[in-house]
Structure 1
Amino acid sequence: MIFAARRGREAPTVLVLHGWRSRTEHMRAIIERLVAEGFRVVALDLPGHGASAGRRLNLALAVAAVRTTADWFGPFAAIVGHSFGGAVAVNAVAGSIGDIAPVEAKRLILVASPSSMPAIFEDFGSFLGLGAHTQLALAGEVQRVAGHPLETYVAADQLRGLAVPTLAIHAPDDKEVAFEEARRFEAAGPHVRLLRAPGMGHRRILANQSVTDAIADFTLAVPGWRGIEAG
């Protein structure tokens, strides 16, 4: 779904990614704020979500969808990802999935996003009561599908190797993705900034004006934007 700014195709493009069991509609406040600033916004419904086809989703499928979107509409001035969408954004830019080429973005904005895929799989296994052998088999399946061992999919570690300015926005009271994940992003290097959004939880954060303002301001700081706008 494309939301066109006044300058249309001439405007720098921002890719917006929703989270797990979500859809583009839930990112509307962020999309409208970016369009109001003159950006062209491409909002992607990930496979099996929203208006997109398919019945399943994993990190590899999501990154492949982002790569295809970049082939059509990239490079991106910024990628904004909420929750799982933030993890997808980092992995797409890092080029961590098999033979899928990295996606170019000048900035990353990670809203309530997890850092550690291994921790997510461990929590999931504990919730289901999986034994050690089954957990090991599950990790092996990740490597088969994604092309690398599960332990390599830690977004904070990936950010250390990227020279991409990053804004992590997270609520200390988030009950779905622990605030400690955002602290790990912040520790990745001076190119990562952490913005606390107290009281916003995991989903209310998407509609908060202070958050949408921060996302717009961070994206407007992309080198060359003001020159394009003035042209």
Structure 2
Amino acid sequence: MASLGWQVIRALFGVGERFVPGIAGRAAFELFARTPSPRKQTHGERKAVSRAAKFMQSARHHRLTVGSDCVAVHEFRPEADADEAGRVLVVHGWRSRTEYMKAIVEGFRAGGFRVFSIDLPGHGQSSGRRLTVMKAVEALATSAQWFGPFDAVAGHSFGGAVAVAAAAGTVKTAAPLAAGRLILIAAPNSLADIVDGFSREVGVGPHSRQAMVARIERLAGRDLQDFSGAGQLARLPIPTLVVHAPDDREVPADDARDYGAAGRHVTMHWAPGLGHRRILSNPDVVSRVVSFAGTQGRLAIAS
């Protein structure tokens, strides 16, 4: 059963749809872009952050200005006995942060990579309480100006969708992200589907949704349909690894299949039983991700 707060929100959007759909659409956009409060972590989230404290102390921490936000980028050097294999950018998902990407980051470090893990606006050590695909892509573009080009970019969930949009240059306010390889872990394929799911959840009606979409398209300078991960990837012949669990309850497996159909440059790896988040810490997944990044990412950039 929905909480009282969500019932009230749904009721308000119902009234807005009937009388002021333009205002309701703008309010829906603001709610859609609102990031979770850092003060309201679950017990599991607090535990994960606490367990990763020593890991975070090993990083060099950078602060970048992206629009009105201060974005944190954490730099992890390769392990002492490893030759440097290249540079990797790691991008977390919604309601996530660098600490949750610990196993992936450590895998890359052990493989000799210098890792730059970004906390997207409104997440982790970055400022703000608002995040859109546009803001996220601009944050990645700014990171590339300082620390790129990257031999590989690895994104989980929302971060995977952002990585594709950044590499494809879909957001007109940001330069395309130079990457030798892309690694998409449990990534959603369609921004339009995400908007539809949100609209159903909070009771945004069709006219209000139209106003919300118009707001997104004005900010992006693109039609909403342009944010199809598979469509972008089909026009972006970068070697790409798609990792997904068939039992993922947050991002349907069909999204991964759509990515896989984007072209022969896409490699699929199914990870049964790992769901949406456990997939990040699975040793086999980490090994495959690091192996895929390899040294060939450098060759892709050079060519």
TM-score tier after normalising by the smaller chain length: over 0.9
Matched residue, 1:4: 77
What are the within-5 Å matches in structure 2 for residues 134-153 of structure 1?
A: 134-153=208-227
Moved more, 2-11 or 150-159: 2-11
* Structure 2 residues without counterparts, runs of 5 or longer: 1-73
Q: Does 1:190 align with 2:276?
A: no
What are the within-5 Å matches in structure 2 for residues 83-102 of structure 1?
A: 83-102=157-176
Matched residue, 1:17: 91
User: Conserved in 2, the CA contact under 8 Å of 1:33 and 1:213?
Assistant: yes
Matched residue, 1:131: 205
| TM-score, scaled relative to structure 1 | 0.94
- C-alpha distance in 2, partners of 1:148/1:224? 31
SS at match of 2:209: helix
- C-alpha distance in 2, partners of 1:120/1:208? 26
Question: Cα gap change, 1:138/1:9 in structure 2, threshold over 3 Å: closer, same or farther?
Answer: farther
Kindly report the root-mean-square deviation, in angstroms, between the aligned alpha carbons of the 2 structures.
1.6
SS at match of 1:125: helix
- C-alpha distance in 2, partners of 1:40/1:222? 15
Question: Cα gap change, 1:200/1:22 in structure 2, threshold over 3 Å: closer, same or farther?
Answer: same
- One-letter code of the match for 1:3? F
- How many residues matched? 225
Q: Does 1:157 align with 2:231?
A: yes
- C-alpha distance in 1, partners of 2:81/2:116? 14
Q: Does 1:78 align with 2:144?
A: no
Match of 2:122 among 39, 48, 66: 48
Matched residue, 2:40: none
Q: Does 1:32 align with 2:106?
A: yes
SS at match of 2:296: coil
- C-alpha distance in 2, partners of 1:11/1:38? 5
Structure 1 residues 193-229: Cα deviation after superposition (integer angstroms, max 9, x where no partner): 110000000000000001000001101152557xxxx
Question: Which of structure 1's runs of 4+ aligned residues deviate more than 2 A?
Answer: 6-11
1:189 to partner: Cα distance: 0.4
1:100 to partner: Cα distance: 1.1
Identity level (%): 49
Q: Which has the larger radius of gyration?
A: 2
